[in-house]
Amino acid sequence: MNSDYYSTIYAWFEKCGIISDVRTHLRHNLVNALKSTDMTLNKDNSGPKSAKQYIYDLLIAEYLWNHNYAYTLSVFASEAPLLVNIRKHVKPGSEDDKQKLQNDYVTHALETLGIRPDEPDGQSIIADYDNNDMPLLLTILKFIYTGKLSYTYSARTEVKNCQTQTDFKISEDILREKRKIINARKKLQNEQDSYKIFETNLKKLQEELAKVQQELSSKNEEKVTQIRTHEVSTQTEVIDSEKIIINNCDDEKRQLQSLAQEQQLRIEELTLRAIRLSRQLEEVQLLKPVIEVTRPVFSKTLTTVLSESSSTDDIIQDAKQRLKRLEEESFKADQSYFNCITGLPL
């Protein structure tokens, strides 16, 4: 802020009486605070403290000392007994220069906060603290604010209180849960889309299945009708063929029967002829000793009888052979007829 503008505003506030009212209000609040404050020593702060707490108190005290907040520093020193001898930790300087902490306390403070003074981050903080009038607390905060401190050391510096860390964790948890919810919604949306696609594909498959079933049913019906017609045709063909075979067998049977009858008649004729010839032969043999003829006539008659007898034997032998042959042919005809009847399909 410009000094002229500041002086103008201050003069105007003082002229209006605002500054006197503020002073009166502050005095009134200070008196009320002192009346209600327990002036005894706080025993909670009298016990041993950690090194980090000691460094925090040292940095705050150095900040108050640098800004000439003597009264506040005295009150703070009463609450932090370790900082009573703050003058011993500060390097002597001229009246114009600000008071500085000793180098060993600066290095100890940085090491306690997790900043190594022998590394570039620590060296830059020490140099900035030595060259400027800012206290060490503001120098460290400035360096952290500008982003020069590495993440490894800034992660180890726990300058925030438990509530801030808890809030940060809660915010991280909330963000994580939000991400999970977003991912779950995306997954749900993807699953819904995939389910819709699956439903459409399922409907298409059902339609195709219905078409295929209809086609199969029609084809099956056609095949059944074809099979039935084929069976009927085959049955009719088989029946016709059986009828033809039976007719042929009947014809053959008739022919064989007629042939057998003819052969039987022939056999009977031959038998009668054989009987007749045998009778004639017997008659001839009976008449042979009675007839008295001459020698040449006798010889002639004898040769005639012998020829006749020989022809009769031949005829009888031929008749026997023919009879045997007829019996064999009749047996073969009966056997073939029986085989033909048994070989027909039922």
Task: Convert the pLDDT of each residue in 3-57 to its tens digit.
Answer: 787 888 888 888 888 888 888 888 888 777 766 655 444 555 556 667 788 888 8
What six digits make up the tokens of 146?
A: 């500008």
**Per-residue confidence (pLDDT) for residue 292, from 0 to 100:** 47
Answer whether residue 25 is part of any domain. Answer: no
213-217-218-223 Cα dihedral, nearest 10 degrees? 140
- Give residue-wise pLDDT tens across range 50-81: 778 888 888 888 888 888 887 777 777 777 76
Number of domains in the chain: 2
Residue 326 near residue 268, CB atoms below 8 Å: no
Which segment of 95-104, 151-160, 328-337 scores lowest on mean pLDDT? 151-160
Q: Where is pLDDT greater, at 292 or 258?
A: 258
**Residue 62 half-sphere exposure toward CB, CA atoms < 13 A:** 27
* 280 pLDDT more than 50: yes
- Please tell me the total number of residues recorded for the chain in this structure: 346
Q: Please report whether residue 268 resides in a domain.
A: yes
190 within some domain:
no
Beta-strand ranges (E) seen in 94-211 are 100-101
Q: Considering 159, 182, 210, which residue would you say is the last residue of a domain?
A: 159
Domain presence at residue 334: yes
Structural domain contains residue 265 = yes
Residues 149 and 256 in one domain: no
pLDDT tens per residue across span 218-246:
888 888 888 888 888 888 888 888 888 88
Phi and psi, residue 123, nearest 5°: -65, -40
Q: Is residue 99 part of a domain?
A: yes
Mean confidence (pLDDT) of the chain:
75
Taking the model in full, what pTM does it have? 0.33
* 180 in any annotated domain: no
Boundary-marking domain end, from 159, 181, 207: 159
Domain boundary (132, 159, 186) is at: 159
Per-residue pLDDT at 164 exceeds 80? no
Q: Which domain holds residue 292?
A: 248-342
Position with higher pLDDT, 179 vs 297: 179
Residue 118 lies in a domain: yes
Provide mean pLDDT across the span 137-165. 64
Please spell the DSSP secondary structure of 90-119, one letter per residue.
EE---SSSPPEE-HHHHHHHHHHTT--TTS
